[in-house]
């Protein structure tokens, strides 16, 4: 069995700041999650047309802003003018899109930890991994605990590893495709982050035996959380910051 390196992150991670209780990937959401006691957050980062890492899950702007079209094809100047809160509720109307730097300042000022999912606009996988990793290394320089970089995109993780190999990385999976564990090891990952239903006694043992950590998304039911805790998994990403106490 491979020896696992120390894991500095807490078990509970707030998905996109506060799940569905506030507009995802906005500073309002991270403040909301923090108010519920969470000290680690997950976010999605992609690049504007002029190379600024900003927070957004979808490739298109339509669902979570008042903009239209592909976010990565617009400049940061244009993106910064959008309303990223009004779609959720009137209470959050006018909430702007944050840059990764905006969120880094919030986390560092409050001693919060971050899982940055590299979420490239299709066709920019390698570049997005490189830029996000460089920016993360710059922003967290000297910090006691670095951000944890994850992605579904192998090319994004390769890009991150090439420019900032010291930053911890995790491979995101929605299915256990052939060679999934070998891929994570080849990428130099410290963790596998997958759909919580994929974990069982055997898969957890494989991952832990390889010296990696086992994390799950997106866990919103108590029965699922209890199953994962009983299996000995290492991290749970949840929307339900109102249901699960991060001290649990």
Q: Which residues are catalytic?
A: 15, 57
Straight-line distance from the first to the last Cα atom of the chain, in angstroms, rounded to the nearest whole number: 28
* CB atoms closer than 10 angstroms to residue 175: 8
CA angle 16, 33, 199 (to 5 degrees): 55
Judge contact between 71 and 121, C-beta under 8 A: yes
């Amino acid at each position: 069995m491979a020896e696992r390196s120390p894991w500095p992150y807490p078990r509970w991670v707030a998905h996109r700041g506060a799940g569905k209780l506030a507009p995802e990937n906005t500073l309002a959401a991270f403040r909301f999650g923090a108010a519920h006691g969470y000290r680690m957050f997950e976010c999605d980062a992609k690049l504007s047309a002029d190379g600024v890492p900003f927070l957004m899950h979808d490739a298109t702007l339509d669902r979570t802003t008042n903009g239209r079209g592909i976010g990565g094809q617009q400049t940061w100047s244009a993106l910064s003018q959008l309303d990223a809160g009004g779609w959720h509720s009137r209470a959050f109307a006018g909430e702007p899109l944050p840059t990764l730097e905006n969120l880094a300042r919030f986390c560092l000022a409050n001693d919060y930890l971050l899982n940055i999912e590299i979420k490239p606009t299709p066709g920019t996988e390698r570049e997005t991994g490189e830029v996000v990793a460089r920016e993360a290394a710059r922003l967290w320089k000297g910090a006691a605990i670095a951000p944890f970089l994850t992605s579904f995109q192998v090319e994004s993780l390769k890009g991150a590893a090439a420019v900032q190999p010291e930053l911890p990385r995790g491979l995101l999976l929605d299915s256990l495709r052939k060679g999934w564990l070998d891929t994570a090891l080849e990428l130099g990952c410290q963790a596998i982050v997958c759909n919580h239903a994929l974990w069982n006694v055997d898969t957890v043992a494989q991952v832990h035996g390889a010296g990696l950590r086992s994390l799950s998304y997106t866990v919103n039911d108590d029965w699922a959380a209890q199953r994962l805790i009983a299996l000995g998994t290492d991290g749970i990403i949840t929307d339900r910051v109102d249901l699960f106490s991060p001290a649990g």
